[in-house]
Structure 1
Amino acid sequence: MPASPAVTTDATTPISLDEARKLGRNNATAIQALLDVEVAEQDVRVSRSALLPQLSLGASAGKTWAGKSIRVTTAPDPADPTRAITKEYQTPSYSIASYDLGLTLTQILYDRARFKQLEQSGVLRDVEKNQALEEADTSELEAIRRFFVLFRTQATLQVLEATVKRSEEQLDRARALFQAGRVGKNEEIQALVNLGNDRITFTDTLSQLVTDQTQLAIWLARPGTEALQASDPGVLQAEPAPAPGMDTALAQAREHRALLVALQGQVRSAELQRAIARAEYVPRLSARGDYSRGGPSAEAVFTEPRLQHSFIGSVQLTWDLFNGFATDAQTKRAEANIRRAQVVLEQSVREIEAQVRSAHRSLEAQLEAARLSAQNREAAVQGLKLAEERFRAGAGSTLEVRDAQLSLTQAELSLLENRIDVEIARFTLLRAMGALSPGESK
């Protein structure tokens, strides 16, 4: 099989496996997950802000106008002090200006619900981080798969190109032997038909190359018109490494799979929601300070620092003694959500263990298939050599050579297919184990 597949296309952009993996972790889907992390980070800040001092400034200026009015007053009767008399009197119109400037400072001293909400926000932020890692791993694996699909098509073109060359050589031999009178004209015609069929197969594969280039480019957020060329990752020349032990793979998945860490965080978040609900049974304590300046003139309030000062300080204790059993209902609802999160986690553990087992078995099967394919290719090479020698000696036919050529082509394509499938299966197993990009923190 060719060692380093090349593609006969113009204006190609080479891309390595490492580049494809890196770009795959930052494609559009992964970026959206990272934006969710940023939202969760700001939610933590919002929860923390409620526990920090709250300072507000207020200022107002107004005026009250009142027109003439009749008022009634009550006074003792001068003639009989045991009696009261009422009198009506008229007040003149007036206006009163009012100016106020004030600062209000509040600080939560103890509020169990607020503290638990802050803790829950941190847990949910970590959940989003692990979900983003899970999405990045998924995106990277897809980038790896598309890279190897493109590389396989490039290598297939080389195999088919070599097949075309062998068919051309066979046509030349058939013509020479016909002209020498050693074979009939039909041998030359058959060789010519075979060459045409091989060229058609090569041309059809070129269209598949464009499709694979496009699929990889758009996944990596590159222009769909860019003709990418997968650089040889060296897997066709190296002996494939054996699969890791099943127990090791399962232990790695249980400990490092980002999805499981995220789901564990969901369970913790549900437990904190129960603590938030139960916090209604606990008193809340806060402090408040008000400083104000008020008066009938702007000068007295805003320009005279010696006058109009007022300060009020207080500590407030709030305790909800009875709220119609709402706290009990919220607590039980939180407990149900805890159980739901635990069920999801337990089911996900089983599913991931099944993924690891399936991916592990697939890798072992592909390794065995690649080994058998290599043996088949060696046998096909020997078969073609023997058929060509018989044809040159006049003991064979173009049909025999053609069969041997097709056997070699199929063996080379099978080896190529299985060797690429080994790499895809290996990365799929690493993905299931949570070890696709060990440099990323879980």
Structure 2
Amino acid sequence: QVQQQALEVSRQRLEKETVRREVGGSSSTDLLNAQVSFNSDRSNFINQELAVLTARQNLNLQLAQDPATEITVSDEMIIPDLGMNFDALFELAEQRNSALLAADYSRRAAAAGVGTANSAFLPRVNLNASYGYTDRTTKNEVTNQFRPPETNTTSKDGAVSLGLSWNLFNGFRDNITRQNAKIEEKISRLQLENTRIQLNGSLREKYETFRKQMELLALEQENVQAARQNLQLQQERLQLGSVSSLEFRDAQINLIRAETALITARFRARITRLEIDQFTGQLSIE
């Protein structure tokens, strides 16, 4: 868009210089300078179109889709305000940062491993219970009034056992296992603290960088306004013939540089804002 606007200004200037030259109000030098400026801006515009086309194709390839697929890009780059100070940001990061949560889970798992290793030094209690029920029917070969044709026999039995065992010695293997578990737990605690310190430092760096980038962004916006007003003034002077072609071109280039610097500043601030969202666990992909 910046190159397109610059090309349009150069086209208008070239048309005016051509008309002035035809009526004898402009020198051939001014016309040639206008032609050179137009060609230069046209070349920059074509190169910019090529860069956009290449970037779109590369993005489509990364998305595993047809390189010719159209991608709609918004011209507006919104930079949300942080809305909180550093302490609040770090508190949010402690709750939601993926690296810190993973380190905390590792610490919990290591602590559970210590508990498991300590259980080997405790006595084992074994409780067993059994219950049996038997219902048997027997046919009698000889029957009379005292012996029916069938005899039913029912029996019930139960048993309960309680055992206590204690491992007195197994070559210090349990003790070694417990020591290793304690070492792992200590390492995990140190790793958790180190992750927290690194998170604090990285988040603070991005926080301060974002603040300075927003200040720079405001300054670049002022520069664009000043450069745009200067170009408008030079355009008016060009109509009156009171400005040289070099002075006009210089004002035009200053506006291009100011707008390019503004876009760069806005892009960098947006990237830093996304990195802060990543650190605080607020970055989501829909």
Instruction: Establish whether TM, by shorter chain, passes 0.5.
Output: yes
Q: CA deviation at 1:342?
A: 1.0
- The answer to whether residue 72 in structure 2 is matched with residue 227 in structure 1 is no
Using the size of structure 1 for normalisation, the TM-score is 0.53
Correspondence list, 1:313-328, <5 A: 319-328=166-175
Query: What is the aligned partner in structure 1 of residue 47 from structure 2?
Result: 204
Q: Percent identity?
A: 24
Between Structure 1 and Structure 2, the one with more helix by share is: 2
Q: In the alignment, is the contact (CA less than 8 A) between 1:243 and 1:363 conserved in 2?
A: no
Q: Is the 8 A contact 1:359 1:432 kept in 2?
A: no
Aligned CA-pair RMSD: 2.8
The residue correspondences of 1:131-280 to structure 2 (distance < 5 A) are 158-219=1-62, 221-223=63-65, 225-232=67-74, 234-235=76-77, 241=81, 244-280=84-120
Q: Which residue of 2 aligns with 1:135?
A: none
Query: Residue 199 of structure 2 contacts residue 279 of structure 2 at CA under 8 Å; is this kept in 1?
Result: yes
CA offsets 1:291-314 (integer angstroms, 9 cap, x no match): xxxxxxxxxxxxxxxxxxxxxx99
User: Deviation at 1:209?
Assistant: 1.6
Paired amino acid for 1:235: M
CA distance in 2 between partners of 1:321 and 1:355 (Å):
51
Give the match's secondary structure for 1:342.
Answer: helix
Compared with structure 1, are the counterparts of its residues 358 and 413 closer, same or farther at alpha carbon in structure 2 (3 Å cutoff)?
Answer: same
Alignment match of 1:285 (pick from 126, 142, 154):
126
User: Gapped runs of 5+ residues in structure 2?
Assistant: 131-158
Q: Is the 8 A contact 2:61 2:67 kept in 1?
A: no
How far apart are 1:235 and its partner, in Å? Answer: 3.4
**1:435 corresponds to which letter in structure 2?**
Q
More strand by share: 1
Cα displacement (A) at 1:271: 1.2
Distance 1:357-1:230 versus aligned 2 partners, 3 A rule: farther
SS at match of 2:71: strand
Q: Say if 1:211 and 1:329 are closer, same or farther in 2 by CA, change over 3 A.
A: farther
Q: Distance in 1 between matches of 2:160 and 2:242?
A: 112
Distance 1:408 1:359 in 2: 30
- Residue 317 of structure 1: how far off its partner (Å): 6.2
Counterpart for residue 220 of structure 2: 373
Which letter does structure 2 place at the counterpart of 1:192?
Answer: Q
Aligned-partner Cα distance in 2 for 1:401–1:206: 25
Counterparts of 1:338-357 in structure 2, within 5 Å, are 338-357=185-204
1:61-95 CA distance string (max 9 Å, x none)? xxxxxxxxxxxxxxxxxxxxxxxxxxxxxxxxxxx
Question: Equivalent of 2:264, from 417, 420, 427?
Answer: 417
Distance 1:317 1:196 in 2: 96
Aligned length: 258
Q: Name the SS of the counterpart of 2:126 in structure 1.
A: strand
CA apart distance, 1:223: 1.8
The aligned amino acid for 1:193 is V
Once residues 337 and 233 of structure 1 are traced to their aligned partners in structure 2, the CA distance between those partners, rounded to angstroms, is: 52
TM-superposed CA distance for 1:336, in Å, is: 0.8
User: How many angstroms does 1:211 deviate by?
Assistant: 3.7
Change (3 A) 1:369 1:263: same
Counterpart code for 2:249: R
Q: Which amino acid aligns with 1:253?
A: A
CA distance in 2, matches of 1:361, 1:404: 34
**2:107 counterpart letter in structure 1:** V
Q: What CA deviation, in whole Å up to 9, does each residue of 1:205-241 have, x standing for no partner?
A: 223223432454455x4326253524327436xx863
Structure 2 partner of 1:360: 207
SS in structure 2 of the partner of residue 285 of structure 1: strand
Q: Residue type of the partner of 2:115?
A: A
Deviation at 1:242, TM superposition (A): 5.6
Mapped contact 2:58–2:67 kept (Cα < 8 A) = no
Partner residue in 2 for 1:430: 277
Per-residue CA deviation, residues 238-273 of structure 1 (Å, 9 max, x unaligned), is: x86365311211221122212212211111111111
User: How far apart in 2 are the matches of 1:251 and 1:387?
Assistant: 53
* TM-score normalised by length of structure 2: 0.80
What is the distance in 1 between the residues matched to 2:242 and 2:103?
71
Structure 1 runs of 4+ with >4 Å offset: 286-289, 313-319
Change (3 A) 1:433 1:240: closer
Secondary structure of the residue aligned to 2:191 is helix
Counterpart Cα distance in 2 of 1:288 and 1:168: 99
SS at match of 2:67: coil
